[in-house]
Structure 1
């Protein structure tokens, strides 16, 4: 007997197969029992007709409880009524592991309850769909950067210094000295770019930021490309091509997941049209002030309401260019004609999802960077290796960081970033 996965049902229409699955739900109607089955690849329906099976099998089908694991045998057939398109006509059932009093029932549950049971909540169709989209973004990321000849380099998670200040870092003991959980691999990517030209990292980062917003996690995953011999405008083109590529691949490969989440494909299709609009920080401030935002002035960073309003002024993701130097990290290249702004950009996602990319051209001048390190009160000794990059064959280079979970949240059209990662770490949550 051939054992298959549900996702491959389309390749076995008319065949008798065996599938290992869990019972997500069930209902019966007189002489027919309908089992909602899942196996980790997809969900579909198994149908048990009383007249086609033994009494023992039919009674077993009616008695199955939620999340009981089973081996089912039957014929794959087309099912035009379902979005998935196929179902299983079940002939035999073997119980593998019984499940009793499963805590997450089809009724409504509060967020705290679901988060306490995250290890089980992941089994639900909605969470499954979100994780499928996350997985596709990861797969497409590797495809995009491999096709563009980037080399993947893994920066350390434990670091001896902080690229953006120590206030938002987790400190730990590293034998006889202090170390920090990485908040970014960017500085190491700059070193790697000087060796390989175009590189990217993809790994976990940590921020000890005491924030409870729907956009913030304590532990999250970042994709951080860095490119030698590259100015900011060229970097912006890579960024928009990458984001459009991610959206297109979700459209191409996650249709069922988008259907489960109720995500409008036509809305997502708009986000594949290039180029993305650009607006300067100066013009963004003017736009906000003209539209009644009295809480903002030049020199302030944008909050969620500001980013949402700016993004809603366009129908696609929008780049905000050249922020004030005072609110950006020390390593950004100064503007050639102004001393108050740096050459950088944030990409703001539409529909109120906020910043998904932060990037800049990096300062390549040794003396300027040394002055910046001193002005920020950072240790010259700790950053000596970083300064070396400007001593031995420095070149113009640019890079950016994309937050995976924020991007999943936006593309999936979900409310909170906590659902975009399998086991979220939040301000007051480290369980399970």
Structure 2
């Protein structure tokens, strides 16, 4: 009896007969031989049907298969250096589950809107599969990095009573008789967790009701948000650069075939090794104004500015010490220069923009109370957050990495819509 196998596991069955549940990705025929390109989610393999070696029923069943038809195929595993997988299947049997008709995504070119409307099917393509495998590897390496370094995974709530950063770009809902919002960040809750566990991280969905249609923005996206007690900004920067280096190199080591499918320049990723260059906001302003931009001190950077700065480096670059007025209320001012805060954005190379934002947090209760008043934050909604400063306050720092922007950069994608299985974009909630 044929052993049940997946395509990725056929390497353990060379010379043996196996049975694989799969779909037909493509096929071609050459007279009395049919070449079936099969996929099962774990990989791809070519199955060869030779008319003289199978029954008439098996030959005709193979002939009737159409794109994305589902079947069980039985065959002998052969080594084949010419194939991408290194193996080939000599077919002995075919059991059809369903013959598909009029599969909408054909090998011809399709527009983006069409593909997005059929995202549930587009995921089956070679390119989209490669992106999702790399995404899964990134997630695995994120958890490995923090777990191996003593961080504890903590899950913040998705429904919150207030904004994390004092913005209004939130999705509002009713929580019985109260107002509630979908979270835009788990950071404030992670600060509370850090006061209990020392080093923590969250990994979950966040939501921004920002009416933006740029290639870098999603409405629903995933964030990795570590928070560390007894840690200053510069210690946090070291963690960030080690973290990003670890993630990138794990993808290079484990997903080379997928990166090649995406035609990614792997040599650029191999160069991503800590430490990363650092410049101050002041130095960034000086560079931009000397190179064709007019950016007054005190303004935030947009995508063109970040790209221009990143082009100077092959590594991600930190921009530190932004003006206090353009950053979140919880960021600690530089004691030597209170008009700037102890913060940093990490800008990815190749025009992918900010992938990490982080800072040292205010730990002085009086200063935090002052910030509450300046930003007109509700004492009632934020009382619990003030308690963190009243009861055992300590220096602490944290950061947030956007998963989808990171996937886009590592994969070399033009738009974040391909970085998540079912993207939520402005005016797109289907499928």
TM-score by length of 1: 0.98
Deviation per residue, 1:77-98 (Å, 9 max, x gap): 2221123222211111110122
Deviation per residue, 1:89-109 (Å, 9 max, x gap): 111111012211000001100
Q: Map residues 34-73 of structure 1 onto 2, 5 A cutoff.
A: 34-73=35-74
Whether 1:152 and 2:157 are equivalent positions in the alignment is no
Asked if 2 retains the 8 angstrom alpha-carbon contact of 1:6 and 1:44, the reply is: yes
Whether 1:244 and 2:248 are equivalent positions in the alignment is no
Tell which deviates more after alignment, 136-145 or 56-65.
56-65
Q: Which residue of 2 aligns with 1:413?
A: 412
Q: CA deviation at 1:59?
A: 2.5
Q: CA deviation at 1:300?
A: 1.2
Q: Which residue of 2 aligns with 1:29?
A: 30
Deviation per residue, 1:211-265 (Å, 9 max, x gap): 0000000000000000001111111111111111111111111121111111122
Whether 1:277 and 2:277 are equivalent positions in the alignment is yes
CA distance in 2, matches of 1:108, 1:255: 26
Q: CA deviation at 1:421?
A: 0.2
TM-score by length of 2: 0.98
Q: Which residue of 1 aligns with 2:426?
A: 427
Structure 1, unaligned stretches of length 5 or more?
none
Q: Which residue of 1 aligns with 2:76?
A: 75
CA distance in 1, matches of 2:169, 2:129: 32
SS of alignment partner, residue 51 of structure 1: helix
CA distance in 1, matches of 2:259, 2:12: 22
SS of alignment partner, residue 417 of structure 2: helix
Q: Which residue of 2 aligns with 1:87?
A: 88
Q: Which residue of 1 aligns with 2:303?
A: 304
Q: CA deviation at 1:9?
A: 1.9
CA distance in 2, matches of 1:179, 1:311: 38
CA distance in 2, matches of 1:311, 1:305: 10
Q: Which residue of 2 aligns with 1:188?
A: 189
Deviation per residue, 1:250-292 (Å, 9 max, x gap): 1111121111111122111011x22011111110111111111
SS of alignment partner, residue 221 of structure 1: strand
Q: Map residues 327-346 of structure 1 onto 2, 5 A cutoff.
A: 327-346=326-345
Tell which deviates more after alignment, 81-90 or 324-333.
81-90
Q: CA deviation at 1:409?
A: 0.5
CA distance in 2, matches of 1:383, 1:237: 30
Q: CA deviation at 1:179?
A: 0.5
SS of alignment partner, residue 105 of structure 2: coil
Q: CA deviation at 1:11?
A: 1.9
Asked if 2 retains the 8 angstrom alpha-carbon contact of 1:335 and 1:342, the reply is: yes
Q: Which residue of 2 aligns with 1:199?
A: 200
Tell which deviates more after alignment, 353-362 or 32-41.
32-41
Tell which deviates more after alignment, 189-198 or 256-265.
256-265
Instruction: Report the RMSD for the aligned CA atoms in angstroms.
Output: 0.9
CA distance in 2, matches of 1:414, 1:44: 26
Structure 2, unaligned stretches of length 5 or more?
none
SS of alignment partner, residue 341 of structure 2: coil
Asked if 1 retains the 8 angstrom alpha-carbon contact of 2:154 and 2:201, the reply is: yes
CA distance in 2, matches of 1:4, 1:242: 36
Q: Which residue of 2 aligns with 1:255?
A: 256
Tell which deviates more after alignment, 178-187 or 46-55.
46-55
Asked if 1 retains the 8 angstrom alpha-carbon contact of 2:268 and 2:314, the reply is: no
